[in-house]
């Protein structure tokens, strides 16, 4: 659910000329899910890397989306750099 919100926020807050951050996050998310399921039977420690690869890039994308939206609302170009 959080990933869907993050990707939707990115699509709404950024120009279409910058498609790479959500692509990278989607790749990390997919790898993370595979690692999470592979380590599921061995307990929480084995799932931790998979969890981190799904959670942190998603939160990062959401934060970047919010920053770009705020910048655009304040009259900027929407870019951070």
Is residue 13 in some structural domain?
no
Provide the residue-wise pLDDT of the chain in tens; the chain has 81 residues.
Answer: 888 888 888 888 776 667 788 888 889 999 999 999 999 999 989 999 999 999 999 998 889 888 888 888 888 655 555
DSSP 8-state code for residue 1: -
Alpha-carbon gap, residue 61 to 80, rounded angstroms: 13
Per-residue pLDDT at 47: 93
Is residue 36 in some structural domain?
yes
Q: What is the DSSP string of 35-66?
A: HHHHTGGG-HHHHHHHHHHHHHHHHHHHHHHH
Q: Is 20 helix (H, G, I), strand (E, B) or coil?
A: helix
Q: If you compute the radius of gyration of the chain from its CA atoms, what whole number of angstroms results? A: 15
Per-residue pLDDT at 77: 58
* Domain limits for position 33: 24-74
Read off the pLDDT of residues 32-41 as tens digits, 9 standing for 90 and up: 999 999 999 9
Is residue 19 in some structural domain?
no
DSSP 8-state code for residue 34: H
Is residue 8 in some structural domain?
no
State the total domains in the chain: 1
Is residue 49 in some structural domain?
yes
């Amino acid at each position: 659910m959080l990933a869907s919100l993050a990707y939707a926020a990115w699509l709404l807050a950024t120009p279409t000329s910058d498609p790479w951050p959500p692509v990278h996050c989607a790749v990390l998310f997919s790898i993370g899910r595979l690692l999470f399921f592979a380590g599921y039977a061995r307990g929480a420690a084995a799932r931790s890397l998979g969890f981190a690869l799904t959670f942190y890039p998603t939160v990062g994308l959401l934060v970047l989306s919010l920053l770009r939206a705020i910048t655009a609302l304040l009259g900027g170009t929407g870019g951070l750099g």
